[in-house]
Structure 1
Amino acid sequence: MENEYHVRLSSAEIANLWTTYQGDTMSICVFNYFLKHVDDEEVKQLMAHALDVSQQHVEMIRKIMKVEEIHIPQGFGEQDVNLGAGRLFTDVFYLHYMKQMAKGGLETYSRLLPDIYRKDIRSFFSKCLATTIELHEKVTKLMLDKGIAVRPPHIPEPKKVEFVEKQSFMLEGLGKGRPLTGLEISNLYKNVKTNELGSALATGFSQVVESKKLAKYILRGKEIATKHVRIFSDYLGNDSLPVPTSIDETVTDSTEAPFSDKLISYHFNLMTYSGIGNYGSAIAQSQRSDLAIDYSRLMAEILKYGEDGLNIMINNGWLEKPPMAAERKS
């Protein structure tokens, strides 16, 4: 039995602990700064809760790595945040940000859990999922209470059982023949929302980074996000469905950097690769050929964009090497 001897951590367990540590140390920096500039007391309490969750994750991972004699990654710390910097985002942005971060956490933890076998690590990530579900529930309720939650579009309720009769069900989209399915609508809505958040982050980050090259890269990302929003919105508009609006107005005109260029670069790349995952999932759930084709070409575009971002991090010595297999050939 597992408790009769020490079970080594698997590659999945080591990698996911390492990646979670990186993300949560970044979140601690971000939330500590946000808490310096929040007016709404309910938003403040929720953000303090989100900060506490990330701090608990980091503390637990440190304990596990110490016992396992795993080198603790550098991650992010006090050197990556300027708590005295001016306000860059509004309270409304904070709610949209926490909503998307919680959503990303739900997807990440539910995806990794099936590959975790050691009891203590399984317990840890199960608790991560549970606390993220709680945070997502709280932020969703608060957004509804404040009237800023944008629900996915409504569609007619099915009244009878029907079956697809023609193979053209998948091909009709090329001629804009059939309406979108509920799943296709849901994915389009989700990808508009994530790109809108990315656009707002790009607006703020581009104002405060020190590196001109990084600022140019971030603004290129904003252009890509804006283009993708337009393409996805056209699909929704063609079926007379509402489109979520931009949140760029939730960014102030501050030019004082609250975060290091390293943290900003990591954060932006984290969202880029999250978007790639969203597009991949959308392809799998799209039964219209035109949608699948567009998602595929747009995913190729952000893959190239993400690669350029990683090169910036590498050239500046910002990219920590993740846990890897042994180098047998050498």
Structure 2
Amino acid sequence: MPEQPYLASSEIGVLWMTYQQKTMLLQMLEYFIEKADDQEAREIMTSLYGEIRTYPDKIRELFEFEGVSVPVGFTPQDVDKHVPKLYDNGFDIIFIRMIKEISMGMHTLNITMAYRKDIIMLFRELTALTQKYYDKCTQYLLEKGLMTRSPYVTTQKGIEFVDNKSYLGGFNPISGKRPLNTVELAHIYHAIESNITGMQMIFGYAQVAKTREVREYFEKGGEIAKNIIAELTEILLENDLQVPGTPGGNLTTSKESPFSDKIMMYCVSLFCSFSLGGNSLGTSFSLRNDLPAKFSVFMKDIFQFAHEGAKIMIRHGWMEEPPQTELKK
């Protein structure tokens, strides 16, 4: 008997996905570190790079020991550190913060699909590391004035229980639509914030993509993000809530791509998966009937966009297959 069980299928799957994400992040970090103007931002990214660089090696060793094919992931060929800056005004930390937000959800879910103590420990380490740098990025952006908080509101005094079905319908017989509660507001604002970052990122990708098909795909994605931002902003304005702008993350005029079309397509796919999960939560925790309906339309548009992207990646040979099970004859 081996000292510990062989890797289970789910463990192979989540390690494979982690390898893809971490090799993508490491390559992009090298570019952002090279182009960083702010010393504090450079130190945050350099420290993060040093702490995560060993994890692809750990996964590679696990796969080699278990006889699992090591994925290609992303390599230095996917990034050109010598081209001009594509983004400015704190976008590097805004982007890293979003990646850390995605990672927090992924690592927590991965722990639930792991059984071996060493694999569980690996994802616990990554979870702690991710939370640490998410906090560093958040505090940096707030201190630099590059990120705004969600709206401050006045809440009703006392505790009440829902006693009328019109609450679920979102309709108040006197004033029309029921005001947003703070749970609904939290998910709406988070969706706006995430889509602003996604829009900034993808319009940058559209500006420098080498393949026409990919460029047009990114432009379409940017318009989807703009539409989501506009519709959710309208809901806040209907509730007399101010919609804070995002002061950070400018796109420069550079037309030279620092990233391969392959790594940009993967990054957009990752953001789409995150957006689908976030909108799903927004649907689940919204009690006003008009909100789940709106989030469902967003999810449909994002799913179709992600599916279109998968077809493009397949056509260009950019979509790496996860480890496959062998068919028994």
TM-score range relative to shorter protein: over 0.9
- Aligned residue for 1:236? 236
Measured in 2, the distance between the counterparts of 1:208 and 1:89 equals: 12
The question of whether the paired residues in 2 share the 8 Å contact of 1:174 and 1:289 is answered with no
Counterpart pick for 1:128 among 126, 129, 139: 126
Measured in 2, the distance between the counterparts of 1:244 and 1:214 equals: 32
Which amino acid in the other structure matches residue 57 of structure 1? Y
Unpaired runs of 5+ in structure 2?
A: none
- Aligned residue for 1:20? 18
Measured in 1, the distance between the counterparts of 2:44 and 2:264 equals: 23
Question: 1:70: how far off?
Answer: 1.3
Which amino acid in the other structure matches residue 127 of structure 1? E
The question of whether the paired residues in 1 share the 8 Å contact of 2:171 and 2:178 is answered with yes
Measured in 2, the distance between the counterparts of 1:266 and 1:174 equals: 44
Q: CA distance change for structure 1 residues 111 and 153 in 2, over 3 Å: closer, same or farther?
A: farther
- Aligned residue for 1:139? 137
Which amino acid in the other structure matches residue 104 of structure 1? I
The question of whether the paired residues in 2 share the 8 Å contact of 1:82 and 1:259 is answered with yes
- Aligned residue for 1:288? 288
- Please give the secondary structure, in 2, of the residue aligned with 1:97: helix
Question: 1:158: how far off?
Answer: 5.0
- Aligned residue for 2:55? 57
Unpaired runs of 5+ in structure 1?
A: none
- Aligned residue for 1:266? 266
Question: 1:33: how far off?
Answer: 0.6
Which amino acid in the other structure matches residue 164 of structure 1? V
Structure number with the higher helix fraction is 1
291-300 or 46-55: which moved more?
A: 46-55
Question: 1:248: how far off?
Answer: 8.1
Q: CA distance change for structure 1 residues 204 and 247 in 2, over 3 Å: closer, same or farther?
A: farther
The question of whether the paired residues in 2 share the 8 Å contact of 1:192 and 1:244 is answered with no
Measured in 2, the distance between the counterparts of 1:263 and 1:59 equals: 20
Counterpart pick for 1:166 among 164, 167, 172: 164
Q: TM-score, normalised by structure 2?
A: 0.94
- Please give the secondary structure, in 2, of the residue aligned with 1:117: coil
- Aligned residue for 1:311? 311
Please state if 1:84 is matched with 2:82: yes
171-180 or 12-21: which moved more?
A: 171-180
Which amino acid in the other structure matches residue 229 of structure 1? I
- Please give the secondary structure, in 2, of the residue aligned with 1:142: helix
Question: 1:47: how far off?
Answer: 0.9
- Aligned residue for 1:106? 104
Q: CA distance change for structure 1 residues 70 and 173 in 2, over 3 Å: closer, same or farther?
A: farther
The question of whether the paired residues in 1 share the 8 Å contact of 2:147 and 2:248 is answered with no
> What whole-Å deviation, never above 9, does each CA across 1:138-163 have from its counterpart, x for those lacking one?
11121222122311222334531211
Measured in 1, the distance between the counterparts of 2:246 and 2:138 equals: 18
- Aligned residue for 1:222? 222
Report the RMSD for the aligned CA atoms in angstroms.
Answer: 1.9
> What whole-Å deviation, never above 9, does each CA across 1:26-72 have from its counterpart, x for those lacking one?
11111101111111100000011222233122122112212222111
Question: 1:242: how far off?
Answer: 2.3
Q: TM-score, normalised by structure 1?
A: 0.94
Q: CA distance change for structure 1 residues 23 and 247 in 2, over 3 Å: closer, same or farther?
A: farther
Q: CA distance change for structure 1 residues 249 and 100 in 2, over 3 Å: closer, same or farther?
A: closer
Q: CA distance change for structure 1 residues 249 and 18 in 2, over 3 Å: closer, same or farther?
A: closer
Measured in 2, the distance between the counterparts of 1:61 and 1:77 equals: 16
The question of whether the paired residues in 2 share the 8 Å contact of 1:40 and 1:91 is answered with no
Question: 1:174: how far off?
Answer: 9.8
285-294 or 47-56: which moved more?
A: 47-56
Which amino acid in the other structure matches residue 243 of structure 1? V
The question of whether the paired residues in 2 share the 8 Å contact of 1:199 and 1:248 is answered with no
Measured in 2, the distance between the counterparts of 1:36 and 1:223 equals: 30
Q: CA distance change for structure 1 residues 232 and 173 in 2, over 3 Å: closer, same or farther?
A: farther
- Aligned residue for 2:154? 156
306-315 or 105-114: which moved more?
A: 105-114
> What whole-Å deviation, never above 9, does each CA across 1:243-262 have from its counterpart, x for those lacking one?
24256861101011111111
> What whole-Å deviation, never above 9, does each CA across 1:216-273 have from its counterpart, x for those lacking one?
0000000000000001111111112222425686110101111111111111111112
Question: 1:108: how far off?
Answer: 1.5
Q: Percent identity?
A: 29
> What whole-Å deviation, never above 9, does each CA across 1:285-318 have from its counterpart, x for those lacking one?
1111100001111101111110000000000010
Measured in 2, the distance between the counterparts of 1:200 and 1:31 equals: 17
Q: CA distance change for structure 1 residues 157 and 151 in 2, over 3 Å: closer, same or farther?
A: same
